[in-house]
A and B are shown apart, each in its own frame.
Chain A
Amino acid sequence: MVTDSVDPHIAFRNVSVSYGRKVALDRVTLEIPRHEIFGIIGPANSGKTTLLKCINRTIDFAPLARVDGQVLVGGEDVYQMANVFELRRRIGMVFPLPVGLPLSVYDNVAYAPRMAGLTRRDELDALVETCLRHAALWDEVKDRMQLLGTRLSGGQQQRLTIARALSHRPEILCLDEFSIAVDPVTTMKIEDVLLDLKQQMTIVLVTNLVQQARRLADRVAFLNNATLIEVGPTEHVFSEHPAERLTFDYVRGHFG
């Protein structure tokens, strides 16, 4: 059993997060290897989303949030980085509820590259197409790129969000319960895309669907009540004998 990789892409070292008096993460230590799909499972309010927000430091925008410990991306402490915007562009984020920005489909996907200074139309066109293809949305929107992103259906908007997350060519893609607002067929499409993408990037998949983690993830971490209970290869966590009894109960649907 190899539980520690040599060169983790993302590492949490004793990370605690609290919002005022409420503790959202309690001394979590965790390593996420490169080019894998890393599943994070756990019941609601167990700290999964907070964990993601620490990676790209959008936790900074949460009022009253306090972060202790170290979060390393590519071996570098995120709080030591001079350019946080650069960090955020290295990481793609997809949150549970689809958010189409009130811009055209094209401008939605071109937003991040433009903010980063890319203005050449041909480069943008190519990038937008690639991202939309990766998100399995290209065929549905290629003829109506000027439609408002907010006018797409929920499932389409979620794929638009994924396309946007890919638009700044991230090395890490984080997805937070992406399938909540998406129909099963689209979910399957996106899952296929993820398996494809893992050749190019590290994928962190937070999910409340235990079976989804089982299908996709190479490695799974189980969070409960702000605490990391267990990390391990998927087949081990989902086996008859995970390291912790609690994991077994959760995976079998006994609580959560």
Chain B
Amino acid sequence: MRHAAALRLSRLAEPLVEAIIRLCGWSAIFFVFAIFFFVFREGAPMLFGALDLGEFFTSVNWRPDSRIQAQYGVLALLAGTASVTALAMLLSVPAGLGAAIFVSEFCPPRVRETLKIVIELLAAIPSVVWGFIGYMVLNPVLIAVTGAPIGINILNGGIILALMSVPIIMSVGEDALKAVPDTYREAAIALGASRWQVVYKVLLPAAKNGLLAAALLGIGRSVGETMAVLMATGHAVQIPHSLLDPVRTLTATIAAELGETVEGGDHYRVLFVIGTLLMLMAFLVNLTADLVVKGVRGKQNG
């Protein structure tokens, strides 16, 4: 009898457990909407109120503290984000993809395992430590090498961001190369192609989309990175003219200024508007990367 009772209980518990599991699964959707909702909610009064969107996107004047007339132009901040990201990608995409090709196609298996662990550890280093490295270690090096008066600038931030982006570009890139069926490699080798020819003529075209997705994810990470750029790129809100100019990015602006704003004030709300903008940019990059990867899968299955 006891068995039967326990059995009945477990049969009753089953739908409950299933409901909880489903709820947890759907929570991911809930959180994405919640993030959007709450960030947007704090920024909305300003977005639909005093904020002049034309000025917001086209003005280089970011003067949130001005007593006479506060100005909220993010063009310089956008330029800051764009310049640091561009430099970081210029350095990290070739390096990351090159390393991915090396690890996936040329490397002896034992070295590959070690390298992957090193890369994994590299990816684990917190962004504030990267910022610290830029601020304390790279800064004097750059002053010595470039002769600039201060080494906290685009170059510094770009190098740091590049180092941070390499692991993700590399691991996504390696996955893309791995996804190319071995039969392609074997067929090419059977035709007398060298390993480099296999990579160049067969793998790269076949893995094109996955590698593109890797680069996109690297961009996404760079645009969203906060602490490292806050510490390593300097604090000048300006359109940069050279690699040695300090800049301020969108993310760094929020991190640096939110603490000093009055809750519910214009400045406070504008920072949330910037947050909304950042989120939309991140969604766009991620969705594109996702679609690009899906494109690959679809073609290979079909």
Contacts and interface: CB of A to CB of B under 8 A. Distances in A.
Interface of A: 116-119
7 contacts: A116-B7, A117-B3, A117-B4, A117-B6, A117-B7, A118-B3, A119-B3
A119 B3 CA distance: 8
B150 to A, nearest CB: 60
Contacts of A117: 3-4, 6-7
Contacts of B3: 117-119
A32 B4 CA distance: 32
Q: Interface residues of B toward A: which range?
A: under 10
Contacts of B6: 117
A51 to B, nearest CB: 28
A-B interface, 7 closest residue pairs, ranked by CB to CB distance from nearest: A117-B3, A117-B7, A117-B6, A118-B3, A119-B3, A117-B4, A116-B7
Contacts of B4: 117
Interface string B3-41: 110110000000000000000000000000000000000
Most B-side CB within 10 Å, residue of A116, A117, A118, A119: A117
Nearest to A83: B11
A117 B6 CA distance: 7
Tell me whether chain A's interface is mostly helix, strand or loop, or mixed.
Answer: loop
A41 B252 CA distance: 71
B130 to A, nearest CB: 42
Nearest to B9: A117
Contacts of A118: 3
A118 B2 CA distance: 10
Nearest to B14: A85
Contacts of A116: 7
Contacts of A119: 3
Interface in B93-108: none
A116 B4 CA distance: 9
A118 B3 CA distance: 7
A118 B7 CA distance: 9
B261 to A, nearest CB: 51
A117 B3 CA distance: 5
Nearest to B10: A117
Nearest to A119: B3
Nearest to B4: A117
Nearest to B7: A117
A119 B4 CA distance: 11
B43 to A, nearest CB: 42
A171 B6 CA distance: 25
A114 to B, nearest CB: 10
A134 B7 CA distance: 28
B160 to A, nearest CB: 46
A116 B7 CA distance: 7
A116 B3 CA distance: 8
A139 B7 CA distance: 33
B147 to A, nearest CB: 64
A118 B6 CA distance: 10
A118 B1 CA distance: 11
B298 to A, nearest CB: 16
B253 to A, nearest CB: 48
Nearest to A116: B7
Contacts of B7: 116-117
A117 B4 CA distance: 7
Interface in B44-88: none
A117 B1 CA distance: 10
A172 B7 CA distance: 23
A82 to B, nearest CB: 11
A76 B4 CA distance: 24
A254 B6 CA distance: 56
A85 B7 CA distance: 12
B233 to A, nearest CB: 49
A117 B9 CA distance: 11
Nearest to B8: A117
A88 to B, nearest CB: 14
B105 to A, nearest CB: 34
Interface string B202-241: 0000000000000000000000000000000000000000
A125 B45 CA distance: 72
Interface in B114-140: none
A164 B7 CA distance: 20
A92 B229 CA distance: 63
A249 to B, nearest CB: 35
A117 B7 CA distance: 6
Interface in B154-189: none
B121 to A, nearest CB: 31
